[in-house]
Amino acid sequence: MNIYLIGFMGTGKTTVGMALAARTGWTFIDMDQEIARREGRAIPDIFAQSGEAYFREMESDLLKELTSLDRLLVTTGGGVVLRPENRDLMKQTGFIVSLSADKESIKRRVSNQTGRPLLSGGELDQKIDRLLEERKGLYEDADIQIDTSARDVSDIVDEILAHPL
């Protein structure tokens, strides 16, 4: 089985995923990084040049591949939950950790980083609100849910590992 980290952009998936991989010794896979590596271009370029639908296909194809492997610590992109078949695949093959954060934390974290095409251009608050509304409920179907807003990474990792996998 694998561990899948799901959650909206800026909820700490990559940070927590790397720490969890270090603690468990499982192989860390960041899906966005893997897609960018395979494509030889950054995520915003994939969106701009080939469109979101193309990216979603790559994302689902990669997830399918990963589900046939074992002991992976998989950090997903925030939109992986949009397709029901992706949600089913993760459920069937692993333990799902859902991370959330309050809007201020999300804003602070995504403002410090670049490379999120769905949040670029226009008013950040409105974009976050709209996407959160569109995805309401999709991040709740998980084995464990953790709010990362004001917590240490090592605390979060402890809480996850306290659960029987």
Spatial neighbors of 86 by CB under 8 A, at least 6 apart, are 59, 60, 63, 80
| C-beta of 2 vs 86, nearer to ligand S3P | 86
Spatial separation of the C-alpha atoms in residues 100 and 56, rounded to whole Å: 22
Q: Return the residue of 18, 42, 58, 118 that touches ligand S3P, per CB under 6 A.
A: 118
Cα angle, residue 27 at apex, residues 18 and 96 outer, rounded to 5°: 70
Q: Return the residue of 3, 32, 87, 93 that touches ligand S3P, per CB under 6 A.
A: 32
Contact 107, 66 (CB under 8 A): no
Q: Return the residue of 116, 141, 145, 151 that touches ligand S3P, per CB under 6 A.
A: 116
Q: Return the residue of 5, 36, 43, 90 that touches ligand S3P, per CB under 6 A.
A: 43
Please report how close the Cβ of residue 45 comes to ligand S3P at its closest, in angstroms: 11
| C-beta of 29 vs 32, nearer to ligand S3P | 32
Please report how close the Cβ of residue 164 comes to ligand S3P at its closest, in angstroms: 27
Q: Interaction with ligand S3P in 125-164: which residues (CB under 6 A)?
A: none
- Decide if residue 78 touches ligand S3P (CB under 6 A): yes
Alpha helices in 11-152 (DSSP H): 13-24, 31-39, 43-50, 52-67, 84-93, 103-111, 124-134
Dig out the tokens for 38 from the structure: 């395979």
Residues that bind ligand S3P (CB under 6 A): 9, 13, 32, 43, 77-79, 116-118
